[in-house]
């Protein structure tokens, strides 16, 4: 299969933070958010990151008639048996803000010592050339860290203010966008996906 370097790609996300990160990392391709086509976000009915990413990519490709990229990502906390996991964005309920989700997470971990607050961000990204693509490209990234007891930093989004990055001795929300993109789960997955897409290019 081949894929043109000039081909527009629809990004199946309405999350402005994700859109900005993915557009920056995949600058070579014209990335257009599905909101530009008035496409509603697909219902995430999968029980895994892979299932949800495929659901979202297929929905965007179907309605926009273009190749589509979708990511499903979230935070996995060991002390919470993997929660919030695939419901990370709606951990505190449908329509919850980042602050609501962070607050619920910190409450759930109240009293848990630092050594037991290990966690990781997971990202699975899917690329589909069309809605019926039988062989979607799938890439994943993992970013290890631990959960702080209180938010720190003003950058990023989601759980970044409470995610401690050991290699930089700071919270993810204290990193610049460039540094975060070089380290993060999404950055890792996109780097792999970029190589896979390149193999399909004309």
Q: Tens-digit pLDDT profile for the chain (202 aa)?
A: 455 656 788 999 877 777 787 777 777 778 889 988 999 889 999 999 999 999 999 999 999 999 999 999 999 999 999 999 999 999 999 989 999 999 999 999 999 999 999 999 999 999 999 999 999 999 999 999 999 999 999 998 999 999 999 999 999 999 998 899 899 999 899 899 988 988 877 5
Determine which one of 72, 98, 100, 114 is catalytic.
72
Torsion, CA 155, CA 160, CA 165, CA 169, rounded to 10: 50
Separation CA 25–CA 23 (nearest Å): 6
- Which one, of 128, 185, 140, lies nearest residue 9 by Cα? 128
Q: What are phi and psi of 113, to 5 degrees?
A: -65, 160
Separation CA 21–CA 141 (nearest Å): 14
pTM of the model: 0.87
Residue ranges covered by each domain of the chain: 9-200
Active site residue 72: yes
> In this structure, what DSSP letter does residue 185 have?
H
Q: What class has domain 9-200?
A: alpha beta
Separation CA 36–CA 114 (nearest Å): 43
């Amino acid at each position: 299969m081949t894929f043109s370097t000039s081909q527009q790609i629809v990004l199946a996300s309405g999350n402005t933070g994700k859109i900005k990160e993915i557009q920056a990392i995949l600058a070579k391709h014209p990335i257009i958010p599905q909101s530009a086509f008035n496409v509603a976000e697909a219902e995430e009915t999968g029980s895994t990151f892979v299932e949800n990413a495929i659901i979202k990519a297929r929905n965007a490709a179907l309605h926009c008639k273009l190749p589509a990229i979708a990511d499903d990502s979230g935070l996995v906390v060991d002390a919470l048996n993997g929660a919030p996991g695939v419901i990370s964005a709606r951990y505190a309920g449908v329509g919850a803000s980042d602050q609501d989700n962070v607050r619920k997470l910190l409450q759930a971990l109240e009293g848990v010592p630092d050594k037991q607050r290990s966690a990781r961000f997971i990202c699975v990204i899917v690329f589909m050339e069309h809605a019926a693509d039988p062989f979607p490209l799938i890439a994943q990234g993992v970013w290890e860290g631990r959960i702080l007891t209180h938010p720190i930093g003003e950058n990023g989004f989601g759980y970044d203010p409470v995610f401690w990055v050991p290699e930089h001795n700071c919270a993810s929300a204290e990193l610049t966008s460039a540094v975060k993109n070089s380290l993060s789960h999404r950055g890792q997955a996109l780097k792999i996906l970029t190589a896979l897409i390149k193999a399909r290019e004309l």
